[in-house]
Amino acid sequence: MPRLIATHEVDDVAHWSASPKREEVFGSVATDIHTFVDPNRPNQVGLSMEVADMAAFQAVMESEAGAEAMRYDGVHPDTIVVYVET
């Protein structure tokens, strides 16, 4: 199962860190989710997770539920960068 790392900017790191939406929406396609904050850039955050089915993960990312979770969490979608373990 590949591990992904995703980085992006958010409006409010404390809100994003405490949000239940990540697990609610992505818990069906990702496991072992960990969050990270860049101590030098206050609105830059990251996630690592294991994803068994990349097509299912992408479908969630493109779904209305995924978009709503990103809006709720204050994610700036245009800043998302995803890295896949090789």
Domain ranges of the chain: 3-84
Return the SS3 of 36: strand
Options 1.10.510.10, 3.30.70.100, 3.30.420.40, 3.40.50.10800; CATH for 3-84 is 3.30.70.100
Alpha helical stretches, state H, 1-86: 13-18, 21-26, 54-62, 64-73
Per-residue pLDDT at 25 exceeds 90: yes
| 61: confidence class by pLDDT, cuts 50, 70, 90 | very high
Alpha-carbon gap, residue 61 to 75, rounded angstroms: 12
Return the SS3 of 61: helix
| 42: confidence class by pLDDT, cuts 50, 70, 90 | confident
Per-residue pLDDT at 60 exceeds 90: yes
Alpha-carbon gap, residue 35 to 7, rounded angstroms: 10
Supply the pTM of this predicted model. 0.90
